[in-house]
Amino acid sequence: MAAAAALAVAAPAGLAACGGGDDGNVTLRYAFWDDNQRPAVEAMIDAFNEDHPDITVELEQNPWDDYWTALDTQLAAQSAPDVFWNHVSKFPTFADQDVLLPITEQIDQAGLDTSAYPAALYDSWAYDGEQYGLPKDWDSIALVYRIDALEAAGIDPAEIEDLEWNPDDGGSYVEFLQRLTIDADGDNALSPEFDPDNVEQYGVAMSSSTGQTDWWNYGVQNGCELQPGPFEEYTLDTPECVEAIQFTADLYNRWQVAVPATSSNQPNGGLTYEFVSAGQSATATDGSWTLSAYRDGLDEGNLAVGPLPAGPAGDGTVINGLSHAIYAGTEHPDEAWELVEFLGSEEAQRIATDLGSVWPGVSSLNQGFTDYWAGEGVDVSGFQTAAEGPNIGYPLSLNDSVYAQIAMEEFNEVWLGSRDAQEAATTVAETANAG
């Protein structure tokens, strides 16, 4: 039966899986999703080939959503790429189902100095005592904004450093966003003349299918824990979390300072950088990996990054990172490890960093990323200070796919104002914990 089922999905995959080695050469398939990072990926492979001319690396690129469905079918057909980008939310199930090659031994034998990576980042790729990846990069969430929008509203960017929110009157953060929310007559949301049905520019844009770039951040700032520890139950129905969810909903519906959820709800709504580039929003809470999309969408010198506001429990952001995984069924485990070892090295990550691609997994290279963006006229240190402060990572769970689906659906309704925050949080926690 397994064979028949595998055959059924193998048919299309098998047609695509040609290549292989001739004359002792080895071909590795390497899969990734982010188009913004393609130049960096290609540059790193070129560098790899200087030392490994006998290994050909074929790139396979799919956008985020298709990437995971394609990978699942390829794994089912036992023809997955030899090396592929891995994500913390997807990693536990893959490791649990034995489709990833453990690299603990290889790391020992190569004598890698794993302290080159932030410990939390390195440890997030461990499962059941085995290591399954070397950190490729890290990311955090910050407030990205248009300088011209702040200037027009007469706001000094330095104010952003001290913004605070609270669930009662919104605090200075909501007031800041109200001054940036402007209707067709030029009145801002603090003015008695303000017309909320005719807004030309909103204060902030948020669009996240998981919570990573929106309410999880308000959650950390309010003392909310999505789960008490790795692989424990989801606890997003606690008062601290529900308050953060409610505050996010308030930005949409009570204060009306956010790009409406009717336009930004995922999976099909607009993305934050689209709203900011189009001038429909003055700021956005977004991840460091999207920087180049903002740069490309805005006039030179108009992009800036500041810290997120502080909440009742202080500062906080969501951090995350990616790694390179090796497929357990690869025919070339040694060559695949050579590629993964290289991609995790300072040499390779320096290439990506110097292209301004992503914050590097190797800590010593962080300055290179900051320097690149300083050269583009953007101070990106907000991401780094955020990451060095209080933060949470992605919840680690074997039930991530259940969480992802139910959370998007329930919280979309909360953002639309048609569902109670507590009820939604309870439903999400119960459904996700039931698996």
Interface segment toward other proteins; rule CB under 8 A; list 236-244, 262-270, 357-365, 367-375: 262-270
First to last CA, the chain: 25
Q: Which residues contact 136 (CB under 8 A, 6 or more apart)?
A: 85, 321, 322, 323, 324, 343, 344, 349, 358, 361
Candidate residues 221, 265, 277, 345; the one interacting with other proteins per rule CB under 8 A: 265
Distance separating alpha carbons of residues 32 and 82, to the nearest angstrom: 12
Cβ contact 389:316 at 8 Å? yes
Interface segment toward other proteins; rule CB under 8 A; list 65-73, 217-225, 228-236, 383-391: 65-73
267 binds other proteins (CB under 8 A): yes
Least CB distance to other proteins at residue 94 (A): 7
Cβ contact 354:368 at 8 Å? yes
Kindly tell me which of 75 and 141 has the beta carbon lying closer to other proteins: 75
Nearest to 276 by CA among 148, 406, 125: 148
158 binds other proteins (CB under 8 A): no
Candidate residues 21, 39, 167, 260; the one interacting with other proteins per rule CB under 8 A: 260
Of residues 384 through 413, those in contact with other proteins by CB under 8 A are: 401-402, 404-405, 409, 412-413
CA dihedral 86, 89, 90, 94 (to 10 degrees): 100
Site string for other proteins, 178-197 (x = CB under 8 A): -------------------x
Least CB distance to other proteins at residue 197 (A): 8
Neighbours of 396 (CB within 10 A): 18
HSE, CB side, 13 Å, CA atoms: give it for residue 416. 14
Candidate residues 24, 53, 168, 268; the one interacting with other proteins per rule CB under 8 A: 268
Of residues 83 through 122, those in contact with other proteins by CB under 8 A are: 93-94, 97-99
Identify any residues that bridge with 137 across adjacent strands, giving them in sequence order: 322, 360
Candidate residues 25, 49, 69, 364; the one interacting with other proteins per rule CB under 8 A: 69
Candidate residues 62, 238, 253, 266; the one interacting with other proteins per rule CB under 8 A: 266
Number of residues that bind other proteins (CB under 8 A): 42
Least CB distance to other proteins at residue 250 (A): 18
Candidate residues 58, 72, 225, 388; the one interacting with other proteins per rule CB under 8 A: 72
Kindly tell me which of 69 and 364 has the beta carbon lying closer to other proteins: 69
Candidate residues 40, 121, 259, 308; the one interacting with other proteins per rule CB under 8 A: 259
Site string for other proteins, 217-256 (x = CB under 8 A): ----------------------------------------
Q: Which residues contact 119 (CB under 8 A, 6 or more apart)?
A: none
Least CB distance to other proteins at residue 259 (A): 7
Residue 291: C-alpha distances to residues 153, 168, 411 (Å): 24, 32, 26
Kindly tell me which of 260 and 333 has the beta carbon lying closer to other proteins: 260
Kindly tell me which of 115 and 268 has the beta carbon lying closer to other proteins: 268
Phi and psi, residue 359, nearest 5°: -60, 130
276 binds other proteins (CB under 8 A): no
Distance separating alpha carbons of residues 271 and 284, to the nearest angstrom: 10
**Contact footprint for other proteins (CB under 8 A):** 1-2, 4-5, 7-9, 11, 68-69, 72-73, 75-76, 93-94, 97-99, 197, 199, 259-263, 265-268, 270, 278, 280, 401-402, 404-405, 409, 412-413, 416, 418
